[in-house]
Each structure stands twice: as C-alpha cells, then as structure tokens.
Chains A and B, each alone.
Chain A
Amino acid sequence: MQSRREFLKTSALIGAATMGVSAVSNSKLKAASPESAAPAEHMGVLVDSTLCIGCRKCEWACKGAHGLPQGDFDSYEDRSVFKKMRRPDDTALTIVNEYKPNNLGDPDFDVKIQCMHCEHPACVSACIVGALSKEENGAVIWDTDKCIGCRYCMVACPFQVPAFEYQKALDPKIMKCDFCFDRQKEGKLPACVEICPVEALVFGKRVDLLEEAHRRLKNYPDKYFNHVYGEYEVGGTSWLYIGSENLSGKVFPKLGTETAPGVTESIQHGLFAYFVPPVALYALLGGIMYLTKKNEEED
C-alpha cells in the first residue's frame, strides 16, 4: 500500500513536471477551449476522508503558498475550530471541517474543502469577461487582469466556493483554490498534498485516481461508503472524495450528473445561433414597420 502511494506521488510529480513544460512550451494549446482539453490530461486529487486526522497542516501550507497570513504553526493544533462549520473564504482557500458520523459510536470524521475544479465549471461558463479558465492540467484559475468583480462566478458555483474581498475598496480579488497552478508549473506538488502527513490527499492523473478510488472501495467495502464524490457530480470534478459514509448531502450538496452550467449554455447558444434569431426579429419588426406605414399612407 505504502509503495503504491509512493509510486502515485512520484508519477504525479513527473506528470506535473511534464505538464508544466507543456504548459509553457505549448501556448497554442493553452488558448484552446476547456472542452477540447482531453480529460485524460487532467490532474486531480483523491481525498480519502477516512485517513484525514484533522491536523489542518494543509490550511497552513495553503496560506503560505498563496501569500496569505498564516499565523502560528502550532495554533493549527487547536481543534476547537471544529465546533463550527467553516467555509473557504478570502483568508483561507481551504479549510477542514469535522463531521458527526451517522452511526453513533463511530469516530468523527474530517473533510478538507476547497475548489473542486469541475470538469465543466459553472464559473468559467458564467464569467462575463472569461476571467476564469479551465487549464489543461485540470486547474480552474482566475485572471486578475480581466475580472470586473461582478461576483457572478459566486452565484454560479454549485459548491459555493469562490470568495470575494469585500473589505477592499480597490482591486478586490476573487479568492479560491487555484490547484497551486504556479507550483504545478514548476513541477511541484500542490502545497496541501505535499504537507499532508497521512497521505489523505493523493495527487495524480484524474483517470488514475478514479481507478485507485474504486480499488479502495472494492477492497475495503466495510470501511468505505461505495461512492466516489466528484466522479459524476456536475459532470465530474478534478478533486475526488471517498469516505466512511455518503458525503453527498452532508459534506457536499446533493447534485445531479448534468454539467454545472446545465441548460444555460444551450439557452445562450440557442438564442444566438449564428445570430439568426436576433436578425430574424429585426427583419420581422422592420417588415411590420414598413407595412403598417404603407397602410397608413393608403388610408
């Protein structure tokens, strides 16, 4: 088991490194639309909540990697924060929550929460200026040079992840996990994965992670609830979760399998199919205008 994890980590590192090189060298691919990126290239993280010990080192590392005030390292030992359910926000891009089990007597379990990096992200579809993008490595990232701060991404996100710096009068940012995009480019692991002392987080290609998740579910049916959250939810997410019980509806919202943007894109593209409907309406109104005018002159 241990060696297999080591292997996954190593292969992930190599994967990340090649990704980084290709991301830099192949700028043409980068401009391609998110749909065209082969999901096989998408990296992801498998979160095994049965292994998580709630040490919150990932929170500490994440803040460090993103230049956010980290505070005292030892303060993260304080488990009283688990009394309240927290959400990722502009001061912490990831947080760990502790949940009561369904069966009394079972131990409490901890789940790390951050951006799920959807395969078909609602935020990317919704953003008025295309400031959010799904990169070929699977990361959903935000571009400060485009964003106008309208917060439609926050309205659209089914997981309620993006946060906004409400207190800033100038240059407020949309804050969310960026899957350590810059670190991955340098061939490094995401900060949270790197620091996790119990390997509750496994970084790798999404397809490989799915295989690993199902292997665990199959081998330890007593330990796991038989569901990989994120495999099909909202068309799939790059981050995948397994746990001792059903996380859907308890840790995560109950979501269908249709892609996150849902019918919005069909409506949009239908209304603007080659600009036919608007032009047709224009022509129709023009026709009516001409005819009623003519009638009037004849009267």
Chain B
Amino acid sequence: MQHYMEPAPVKIKYFTPGVIFISLIALNGIIFLLGRFIFGIGAVTNLNNQYPWGIWIGLDVGAGVALAAGGFTTAALGHIFHKDKYEVITRPALLTAMLGYTFVAMGVFTDIGRWYYIWHPLVFWNHSSPLFEVGICVMFYLTVLYIEFLPVVTERFIGNVKLPGALKRLNRPVDKLLRALDRGLDKTMFIFIIAGVVLSCLHQSSLGTLMVIAHSKMHPLWETPILPLLFLLSAFSVGFPMVIMESIAASRSFGLKPEKEVLSGLAGYVAPLLGVYLAFKIGDMAIRDTFKYLTEFNLQSVMFTIEVVVGFIIPFRMFMSKAVRESTTGLFIASFLVIFGVFLNRFNNFVIAYKPPYILDVYIPSFGEISVTLGFIAIEILLYRLLVRIFPVISQPNYGAAASAKFEIKGGSK
C-alpha cells in the first residue's frame, strides 16, 4: 500500500455543520479585530500599564510559535536525517507551520500599538534585544516556509495552468515559468530546509530569553536563566505530537485512514525528547531550590502543577508505552496532553508567572481578546481545509493506481 500513497488534493465538501460553526467563531474574532484597529488596544483588551502583555503575546505568539514546531522538526527528520518513511507527513506539517507562523505574525501585528511600523526591526537594529532576534528570525523563517511550500504550488499547476478568458494566451508562458521555478527550487531547496531548522532553533530559544530580562517580576517556578534552553527543548518535544494529533484529526475529518505505522514511529521519538526536557526542568528546579514554592497554595503553584503533571509527566509515561504508541486513541490523547502542556507552559511563562511589583488592576483576558485569539485559530483551520482541497498536501491512496488494481481484481474473479 505504501507505494500508492502520494500527496493529492483532498476531495471533500467544504462546508459541514462543524465548518459553519468554526466560521462563526472566525467572524466573531474579525469583529473584535476591527474594534482593535478602529478604537485602539484599550478598547478591546484588558491590558494595562501593569500587565503590558496578555494572551495575544502569550498564546497567539508564544504558544503559536511553539505549536508550529512540527514544521521544522519533521523537516529535520525527513529531509536532513533522511528518514524517508516520514516524508508523507512533512507536507501537512509544513502547511501547518506556514499557516501557524502567518498567524503568529498576524498576532504581533494586532498586539503592537503601532502596527504600521512592523517593518522597523528590519531597519533599526538592537543587537542586545532578544525580541529583535525573535522578530528577525520569525520574518525570515516565514519567508523560508513560503519558499518551502512553493514546490507544492508548482506541482499543482505545472501542465495544469488554465487561466480564464483573455488571459488564456498566457497559459504557456506561465507554465514555462513554473517549470523553471520548480527546477531552480529543486536544486536549491536544501539551503532553505537547513536555514529553516537553524532559524527555528534560534527563535524558539530566544522566545524563552524574552522573559529572562523581567526576572525580578517572574515567579521563581518559571524564572531561570536556562529558559531559552527549556523553550527549545519543549519545542522539540511538541513538534511530533502536534503532527500526530493533526494527522489523526485530519484523516477523521477527510474520511481517510490514519497512517498508523508512520505516526507510531514518530511517537517513538517523543518520550526521549520529553525526558530530556523534564530532566533539565527538574534539575534546574533542584539546583535553584524552587520546589519549596509548590508548598504554597496559589494560582502560580496550581497552574505549574497542572502544566508539569498533566502536560509533561503523564504524556511522558504514556509515550513510553508501546500499547499507547500503537493505538490511535492512545496516540491522540498522549499527543493532545503534550500540546496542552506546552500551550499552558507558554501561557504560564508570559502571563501567569509575570507578577508586577505594583498591581492596581489584575489582568483577566477580556471577551474581545479571547474572541480574537479564537478567531485566528478558526481562520487557520478554515484556511487549512481550503488549501488541502487545492494543493497536493495530504498523502492518500493514489486513486489511479487503486482504481486499476480494483479493476484487475474484478476481472480476475470473473
């Protein structure tokens, strides 16, 4: 069967009741988004001078970058370490990363007060700023992701350029152009693939450096100078679970069989990666003697316990079990827990751990902020569904080959 699996546009109806529901969430988000741009950040968010960063940075950017880690981790596994078995999942992972980072950029664009100056970091450099590094790397990586996706576009349209009406005569030249582009990309793609992995390692870790400068305001359960390392290791850990969960969800949604063998293989890497993360996290806590803060009962200690136990330790144990790795349900639950853990970790680092010295008003995300965050996620899902219908992203049984095989069997049985 393996041989017949190849990426092709998915043939599904776009609108289902679920999709309509997601569209409504997207619409609700867009309304509040308009409010933010027309009336200002203060009109939509509960951000204030004590809490300058809320869920738009903590979730849309912080968690968004981490959860898009499936892109560079599978690119490294499939294209750099040449584990060919995993090639089938590199395209969906690439599409998720591309959409994910697009919306990270959108999140930044929404959150910064002067969105029309978003290009300033390209011109005004501050080498000592980790945010500058994150900004530049994300801009470059987003470009690299679009370049990496180009071959999928050329594959879809080469020999298939059908422009409407008067543009018809351009069909040939466009086709030629696409072919030239495809050849050029084929020869140079390794440059971009390696660059994508390097850029990812850089900004995934620098995202952790962001909160190091606020050390006096950070809760000791999260505050440590090795935050960049912890961010990088947790990004490594969440990459494959993200691909696994997405793959299972997509196959259910598109009526395909999940590629269990590939997913179980991927799952084998997760426990060691989580183990390394946990070793550094717990080791750091032991060295810095921060376990004592767990004896206090407050928001921080509760959130920390949920994060580490539910989001890291339980899935770590689950991924060690062969039975879990070979069951679709087991894989789905364990992967979901890791994603939940890393998501919560980023939220905790950027929002819960941040304790300003003078609190006049406590920050609780507003309905508008939550709407925008959910709206972005909804639009991402809608775009994903749209793009897999247009472009050959999802690997599925090759219909041509399968049909002829079926015919033979039929013919043979007569």
- A interface residues with partner B (beta carbon < 8 Å): 85, 87, 89-90, 122, 125-131, 146-152, 154-156, 158-160, 162-169, 171-172, 253, 255-256, 260-265, 267-269, 271-272, 278, 281-282, 285-286, 288-289, 292-293, 295-296
Establish whether residues A150 and B216, one from each chain, have CB atoms under 8 Å apart when the complex forms: no
A19 to chain B: closest CB distance in Å? Answer: 25
Pairs across A and B, CB under 8 Å, 16 listed: A126-B128, A127-B129, A128-B126, A128-B132, A129-B124, A129-B132, A149-B112, A149-B114, A155-B210, A168-B42, A169-B43, A264-B128, A267-B130, A271-B206, A281-B198, A295-B82
Measured CA separation A253–B218 after assembly (Å) = 13
Contact A125 to B121, CB < 8 A, known contacts A155-B52, A172-B113? no
Indicate the member of B48, B127, B131, B205 with the most A CB atoms within 10 Å: B131
Query: Is B202's beta carbon under 8 Å from chain A?
Result: yes
Give residues of chain B (201-246) contacting chain A, Cβ–Cβ below 8 Å.
Answer: 201-202, 205-206, 209-217, 225, 228
Contact A253 to B131, CB < 8 A, known contacts A148-B121, A263-B212? no
Contacts A155-B354, A262-B213, A288-B81 known; list 17 others, CB within 8 Å.
Answer: A125-B128, A130-B124, A148-B120, A148-B121, A149-B112, A150-B108, A150-B131, A152-B52, A160-B49, A166-B42, A166-B47, A169-B40, A253-B216, A255-B216, A278-B202, A282-B198, A285-B76
Residue numbers in A under 8 Å from B217 (CB-CB) = 155, 158, 160
Measured CA separation A253–B355 after assembly (Å) = 12
Residue numbers in B under 8 Å from A168 (CB-CB) = 40, 42, 113
Residue numbers in A under 8 Å from B118 (CB-CB) = 148
Q: Which of B272-280, B304-312, B356-364, B399-407 contacts A (4 or more CB under 8 A)?
A: B356-364
Nearest to A144 among chain B residues (CB) is: B114
Residue numbers in A under 8 Å from B121 (CB-CB) = 128-129, 148
Give residues of chain B (104-119) contacting chain A, Cβ–Cβ below 8 Å.
Answer: 108, 111-115, 117-118
Nearest to B124 among chain A residues (CB) is: A129
Establish whether residues A126 and B131, one from each chain, have CB atoms under 8 Å apart when the complex forms: yes
Contact A131 to B190, CB < 8 A, known contacts A87-B49, A262-B212, A278-B202? no
Establish whether residues A151 and B40, one from each chain, have CB atoms under 8 Å apart when the complex forms: no
Query: Is B185's beta carbon under 8 Å from chain A?
Result: no
Indicate the member of A89, A122, A289, A295 with the most B CB atoms within 10 Å: A289
Nearest to B227 among chain A residues (CB) is: A267
Measured CA separation A292–B318 after assembly (Å) = 31
Query: Is B194's beta carbon under 8 Å from chain A?
Result: yes
Residue numbers in A under 8 Å from B129 (CB-CB) = 125-128, 130, 152, 268
Measured CA separation A130–B120 after assembly (Å) = 10
Establish whether residues A253 and B80, one from each chain, have CB atoms under 8 Å apart when the complex forms: no
> How many interface contacts (CB-CB < 8 Å) are there between A and B?
189
B159 to chain A: closest CB distance in Å? Answer: 28
Establish whether residues A155 and B194, one from each chain, have CB atoms under 8 Å apart when the complex forms: no
Return the contact of B212 from the options A85, A130, A264, A288 (Cβ within 8 A): A264
Nearest to A293 among chain B residues (CB) is: B82
Residue numbers in B under 8 Å from A288 (CB-CB) = 80-81
Return the contact of B113 from the options A158, A160, A164, A293 (Cβ within 8 A): A164
Residue numbers in A under 8 Å from B201 (CB-CB) = 281
Measured CA separation A49–B330 after assembly (Å) = 64
Query: Is B133's beta carbon under 8 Å from chain A?
Result: yes
Measured CA separation A131–B114 after assembly (Å) = 13
Establish whether residues B41 and A166, one from each chain, have CB atoms under 8 Å apart when the complex forms: yes
Measured CA separation A126–B127 after assembly (Å) = 9
Q: Count residues on chain B whose CB falls below 8 Å from chain A CBs.
A: 67
Query: Is B23's beta carbon under 8 Å from chain A?
Result: no
Establish whether residues B53 and A155, one from each chain, have CB atoms under 8 Å apart when the complex forms: yes
Residue numbers in B under 8 Å from A285 (CB-CB) = 76, 80, 194, 197-198
B228 to chain A: closest CB distance in Å? Answer: 6
Give residues of chain B (87-146) contacting chain A, Cβ–Cβ below 8 Å.
Answer: 108, 111-115, 117-118, 120-121, 124-133, 135
A274 to chain B: closest CB distance in Å? Answer: 12
Dominant secondary structure at the B interface: helix
Measured CA separation A164–B112 after assembly (Å) = 11
Establish whether residues B40 and A164, one from each chain, have CB atoms under 8 Å apart when the complex forms: no
Residue numbers in A under 8 Å from B76 (CB-CB) = 285
Return the contact of A151 from the options B52, B82, B202, B228 (Cβ within 8 A): B52
A93 to chain B: closest CB distance in Å? Answer: 12
Residue numbers in B under 8 Å from A167 (CB-CB) = 40, 42-43
Measured CA separation A282–B118 after assembly (Å) = 28
B26 to chain A: closest CB distance in Å? Answer: 23
Establish whether residues B209 and A268, one from each chain, have CB atoms under 8 Å apart when the complex forms: yes
Establish whether residues B190 and A289, one from each chain, have CB atoms under 8 Å apart when the complex forms: yes
Per CB-CB distance, the 4 closest pairs between chain A and chain B, nearest first, are A149-B113, A166-B42, A151-B52, A154-B52
Establish whether residues B114 and A148, one from each chain, have CB atoms under 8 Å apart when the complex forms: yes
A281 to chain B: closest CB distance in Å? Answer: 5
Establish whether residues A160 and B356, one from each chain, have CB atoms under 8 Å apart when the complex forms: yes
Contact A264 to B209, CB < 8 A, known contacts A154-B49, A172-B41? yes
Measured CA separation A264–B354 after assembly (Å) = 17
Establish whether residues B216 and A158, one from each chain, have CB atoms under 8 Å apart when the complex forms: yes
Contact A289 to B131, CB < 8 A, known contacts A160-B356, A255-B216, A262-B212? no
Establish whether residues A126 and B213, one from each chain, have CB atoms under 8 Å apart when the complex forms: yes
Residue numbers in A under 8 Å from B215 (CB-CB) = 262
A235 to chain B: closest CB distance in Å? Answer: 13
Residue numbers in B under 8 Å from A271 (CB-CB) = 133, 202, 205-206, 228
Query: Is B293's beta carbon under 8 Å from chain A?
Result: no
Measured CA separation A125–B215 after assembly (Å) = 14
Contact A151 to B53, CB < 8 A, known contacts A169-B40, A262-B213? yes
Contact A148 to B117, CB < 8 A, known contacts A125-B213, A131-B124, A285-B80? yes
Establish whether residues B358 and A87, one from each chain, have CB atoms under 8 Å apart when the complex forms: yes
Establish whether residues A122 and B213, one from each chain, have CB atoms under 8 Å apart when the complex forms: yes
Measured CA separation A214–B355 after assembly (Å) = 33
Establish whether residues B209 and A267, one from each chain, have CB atoms under 8 Å apart when the complex forms: yes
Query: Is B195's beta carbon under 8 Å from chain A?
Result: yes
Nearest to A277 among chain B residues (CB) is: B202
Measured CA separation A35–B125 after assembly (Å) = 17
Establish whether residues B120 and A129, one from each chain, have CB atoms under 8 Å apart when the complex forms: yes
Q: Mark B47-58, 1 if CB is under 8 A from A, else 0.
A: 111101100000
Measured CA separation A289–B217 after assembly (Å) = 43
Query: Is B39's beta carbon under 8 Å from chain A?
Result: yes
Establish whether residues B49 and A169, one from each chain, have CB atoms under 8 Å apart when the complex forms: no
Query: Is B254's beta carbon under 8 Å from chain A?
Result: no
Measured CA separation A94–B124 after assembly (Å) = 30
